[in-house]
C-alpha cells in the first residue's frame, strides 16, 4: 500500500508541475491579447472541462503532459509567395498547418494571432513554461534544504567492520579473514570522530582524506563516546578497494570489471542524517543541479545508445537517465522501503528531491532549440528579433515574422524521436531497472 501511495504522490506532483508549466504560457499569452481556446492538462479523452472567458480549461485522461492552444502560431504565406500543393492538388502539410493555425480567428480578431506579437513578447510567452518549472525546482529545493535538510555523511560512525575480506566485493567475513584495524583498535558504532592523526575532522570527507594520505603507520584517533573523549590507536592496513568516480559509482575497465587500487583501509562507515542548510546555500545548489542536468541533456544521444545496448544486450544500465516508469518505481520504493534511520523526514526529503529533479529536467529539456519544444519557438523568436534589428539598422523594410510553418515537417520528426525515446526508456525501466540510489 505504501508503494502505491508513493507513486500517487509522484503522479500528483507531476500533474501539478505540468499544470503550472502551462500556466506559465497561458498567463502572458492572455495578457498580450493572444486568443487561447484551450488549456489542458493531460492527453486523450477529456475527463472534465469548463469554459471561462473564451478558454476551455480541462483535464484529460493521460497525465503525460499538457498543452495551451494558442491561435495563430504560424503566420500566413507571404503575399505573392508560391503556395505548395501535393501531387493530387491538395494543400501541402505546411499550408494545411497555416490554415489550421488561423481558422479559429473570427472577423476582427486578426490582431489576436500569436505570430503578430513582437519578438520580446513571444519570448515571454514561450519562456513562461520552462521558467515556471525552474521556479518550482528552486522553491522545492529551498524548502528541502532550509526546512527539511540535505542528507549528509557525518563524523559519527555508523558501522565498524569486523574483518578485512580478501574479496573486496564480499559482504561477510570468512574464517581466515584478518580483523579490521578499526575493530582491533576498539572503535564502535556511535563514536564521533574528533581528530585523526592530530588533524581535527569536521566532516566525513576530511576523515576519508586524512586516512588516504596517512599511510599505514599507527595513528592516534580521538573520539567522543558517551560524552567522554577517548583516544585510540588505529593501524590502517593496505587493502585492494574499488575506485569510485565523481558520480559516486564504481569505475569499471573495458571488460566491465570493477577497477581497484591498493590504499589504507580502516573499516569504518559514517552515519547519514539530514542537515539543514542556510538560505544562502540554495542558489549554489540550484546552479549545481542545473549544471548536472545540462550535462545529462547534452550527452543524451550517447546515453540513449548505451541504454539501448543495456536493454537489448549485455551492457550495464546508465543510472543517470530513467523514464517515467523508473521515476515511479523510485517514488514507490521511497514510500515503502524500511530500515533503521529512514523515517518520515528522510522519505519527505527524498520525494521532494525527486520532484526537484523532475522540474529541473523539464526546464532544461524544454529549452532544447527544436520544435515542438518551447526551445524551438524561443529560437525562432530570437532569430526574428535579430532579423528585425538588422533590418532597422540597415534602414531596410521590416522582414516580418519568421515563417515557422516551414518547420512543420521537423515537428513530426522531433515528436517521433521523443516518442521513441520515451518508449526506449520505458522498456529499459522494465527489463533493466535502475535501483533506488543508482
**In the structure grid, which three cell numbers stand for residue 12, read together?**
500528483
User: Measured on CA atoms in the order 57, 62, 65, 69, is the torsion positive or negative?
Assistant: negative
Closest-CA residue to 382 (of 369, 392, 372, 394): 369
Closest-CA residue to 265 (of 244, 242, 240, 248): 240
Taking each continuous run of H as one helix and of E as one strand, the counts in the chain are 11, 10
Is 338 known to be catalytic? no
Task: Report how far residue 71's alpha carbon sits from residue 214's, in angstroms, rounded to the nearest whole number.
Answer: 69
Using DSSP's 3-state secondary structure scheme, residue 233 falls into strand
Task: Report how far residue 313's alpha carbon sits from residue 31's, in angstroms, rounded to the nearest whole number.
Answer: 52
Task: Report how far residue 251's alpha carbon sits from residue 242's, in angstroms, rounded to the nearest whole number.
Answer: 8
Secondary structure of 99-137 as H, E, C letters: HHHHCCCCCCCHHHCHHHCCHHHHHHHHHHHHHHHHHHH
User: Measured on CA atoms in the order 164, 169, 170, 174, is the torsion positive or negative?
Assistant: negative
Residue where the block lists cell 542556510: 278
Closest-CA residue to 138 (of 271, 304, 350, 290): 290
Task: Report how far residue 417's alpha carbon sits from residue 230's, in angstroms, rounded to the nearest whole number.
Answer: 62
Task: Report how far residue 67's alpha carbon sits from residue 410's, in angstroms, rounded to the nearest whole number.
Answer: 19
Catalytic pick among 22, 95, 222, 384: 22
Active-site positions?
22
Amino acid at each position: 500500500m505504501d508503494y502505491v501511495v508513493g507513486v500517487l504522490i509522484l503522479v500528483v506532483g507531476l500533474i501539478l508541475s505540468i499544470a503550472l508549466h502551462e500556466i506559465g504560457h497561458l498567463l502572458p499569452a492572455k495578457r498580450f491579447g493572444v486568443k487561447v481556446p484551450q488549456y489542458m492538462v493531460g492527453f486523450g479523452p477529456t475527463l472534465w472541462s469548463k469554459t471561462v472567458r473564451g478558454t476551455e480549461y480541462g483535464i484529460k485522461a493521460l497525465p503525460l503532459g499538457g498543452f495551451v492552444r494558442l491561435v495563430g502560431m504560424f503566420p500566413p504565406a507571404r503575399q505573392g509567395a508560391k503556395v505548395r500543393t501535393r501531387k493530387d492538388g491538395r494543400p501541402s502539410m505546411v499550408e494545411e498547418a497555416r490554415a489550421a493555425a488561423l481558422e479559429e480567428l473570427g472577423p476582427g480578431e486578426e490582431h489576436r494571432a500569436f505570430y503578430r506579437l513582437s519578438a520580446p513578447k513571444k519570448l515571454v510567452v514561450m519562456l513562461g513554461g520552462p521558467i515556471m518549472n525552474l521556479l518550482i525546482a528552486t522553491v522545492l529545493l529551498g524548502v528541502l534544504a532550509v526546512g527539511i535538510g540535505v542528507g549528509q555523511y557525518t563524523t559519527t560512525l555508523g558501522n565498524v567492520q569486523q574483518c578485512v575480506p580478501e574479496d573486496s566485493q564480499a559482504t561477510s567475513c570468512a574464517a581466515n579473514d584478518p580483523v579490521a584495524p578499526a575493530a582491533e583498535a576498539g572503535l564502535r558504532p556511535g563514536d564521533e570522530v574528533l581528530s585523526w592523526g592530530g588533524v581535527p575532522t569536521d566532516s566525513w570527507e576530511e576523515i576519508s582524506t586524512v586516512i588516504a594520505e596517512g599511510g599505514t603507520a599507527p595513528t592516534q584517533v580521538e573520539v567522543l563516546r558517551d560524552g567522554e573523549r577517548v583516544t585510540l590507536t588505529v593501524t590502517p592496513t593496505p587493502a585492494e578497494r574499488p575506485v569510485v568516480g565523481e558520480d559516486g559509482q564504481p569505475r569499471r575497465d573495458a571488460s566491465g570489471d570493477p577497477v581497484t587500487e591498493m590504499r589504507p583501509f580502516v573499516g569504518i562507515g559514517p552515519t547519514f542524517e539530514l542537515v539543514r542548510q542556510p538560505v544562502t546555500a540554495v542558489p549554489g545548489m540550484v546552479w549545481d543541479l542545473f549544471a548536472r542536468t545540462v550535462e545529462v541533456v547534452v550527452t543524451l544521444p550517447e546515453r540513449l545508445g548505451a541504454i539501448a545496448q543495456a536493454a537489448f544486450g549485455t551492457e550495464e544500465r546508465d543510472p543517470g537517465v530513467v523514464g517515467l516508469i523508473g521515476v515511479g518505481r523510485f517514488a514507490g520504493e521511497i514510500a515503502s522501503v524500511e530500515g533503521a534511520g529512514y523515517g518520515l523526514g528522510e522519505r519527505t526529503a527524498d520525494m521532494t528531491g525527486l520532484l526537484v529533479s523532475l522540474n529541473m529536467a523539464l526546464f532544461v529539456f524544454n529549452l532544447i532549440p527544436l520544435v515542438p519544444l518551447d526551445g524551438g519557438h524561443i529560437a525562432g523568436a530570437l532569430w526574428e528579433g535579430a532579423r528585425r534589428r538588422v533590418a532597422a539598422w540597415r534602414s531596410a523594410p521590416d522582414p516580418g515574422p519568421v515563417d515557422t510553418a516551414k518547420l512543420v515537417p521537423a515537428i513530426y520528426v522531433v515528436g517521433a524521436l521523443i516518442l521513441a525515446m520515451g518508449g526506449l526508456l520505458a522498456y529499459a525501466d522494465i527489463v533493466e531497472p535502475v535501483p533506488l540510489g543508482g
